Amino acid sequence: MDRLDAMHLFSRIVDLGSFTKAADELQLPRASVSLAVQQLEARLGVRLLHRTTRHVSPTQDGQAYYLRCQQILQDVEEAEGVFRSHAERPRGKVRVDLQGTQALHFILPRLGEFHARYPDIELEIGLTDRLIDLVREGIDCVLRSGEPKDSSLVGRRIVLLAQVTCASRDYLQRHGLPRTLEDFRTHRAVNYLGASGRALPFEFLIEGEKRRVHLPGPVAVNSAYGYAACCLAGMGFIQAPRYHVDQYLHSGELVEVFPEWAPEPMPVSVLYPHARHLSPRVRVFVEWLVECMAVAS
């Protein structure tokens, strides 16, 4: 068994959590699979797998080797894919990480459409908004809001999301409707914690000038779901993409303020490592993301 075959075998054992399942999938004798892993561990000089009677999991060294294997195997497949016939259907696994509310609103409801179009592509989807080392974690692409800050990644802006400033009807009944920016400074906020761990300011576009306001508040969150939920609970003002709170604005549970000073639209981009742009499966997934998010523009 050559090194690439050994890497692929090891990766499938980790993915499936089982020597037997990997052997069945790859149509290899169970004894050959065990021997191949033993030889791999001997060559590397480390133990790669924890073995129990019911489950197999990677050691710390095994997890690091698994991520490197994923990258190497993907690079080999992508390099070969460049020279395959363009008529061949994209195939293989695409590992993506999506911002949760955007995924649930625009993307996940249309997954059946993607699968029908590309039945040979397997998607592995994470729903987070954290900073990710795409290369180290073996992620093909991420969907993120805000201006991209990692210059090592290829970024493609796919939509601008309108934003609103709002509070609950109950909060405004108790504390009054602000009429000026000076009034607004006397209010409370549900503060949103950015990637730095600091509360993000409210932003207003007044006569072409961006004005930032920090408000105190009884609660700070790092989740878009929690952000809207705390606002609905009457904890203070938020500033969020309109699509995320639109149903509550229509029902009257939330009330928009200062629509004439709405903040600049929030950019949403898909980001991926430079090497991934050669992959047909990543390319078609990115194009499909653009289709999904187009309805938000």
User: Is pLDDT at 284 greater than 80 in this prediction?
Assistant: yes
Last residue of a domain, one of 62, 81, 100: 81
Q: Which structural domain range is residue 208 located in?
A: 163-264
Residue 217 CB neighbours (<10 A): 19
Residue 87 lies in a domain: no
- Verify that 147 and 279 share a domain, yes or no: yes
Q: Are residues 20 and 110 in the same domain?
A: no
For the cut 90, the answer to whether the pLDDT of residue 147 exceeds it is no
- Do both 175 and 98 map to the same domain? no
The count of other CB atoms within 10 Å of the CB of residue 3 is 11
Same domain, 172 and 260: yes
Whether 279 shows a pLDDT value over 80: the answer reads no
pTM for the complete prediction? Answer: 0.68
Whether 106 and 191 map to the same domain: the answer is no
Q: Residue 43: phi, psi to the nearest 5?
A: -70, -40
Domain boundary at 31, 53, 81, which? 81
**Residue 87 exposure: Cα atoms within 13 Å on the Cβ side:** 0
Strands (E), 152-227: 153-161, 163-168, 190-192, 202-206, 209-213, 219-221
Q: What is the pLDDT of residues 200-242, one digit of tens each?
A: 999 999 988 999 999 999 999 998 899 999 999 999 999 999 9
Q: What is the CATH number of the domain that holds 144?
A: 3.40.190.10
User: How many structural domains are present in the chain?
Assistant: 3
Residues 54 and 128 reside in one and the same domain: no
Residue 127 shares a structural domain with residue 50: no
pLDDT value at residue 258: 97
Q: Quick: pLDDT tens for 52-63.
A: 777 889 999 999
Q: Are 93 and 122 in contact (CB under 8 A)?
A: yes
Per-residue pLDDT of 27-47, as tens digits, reads 899 899 999 999 999 999 999
**Looking at residue 85, what is its pLDDT?**
47
Rounded Cα distance, 269 and 267, in Å: 7
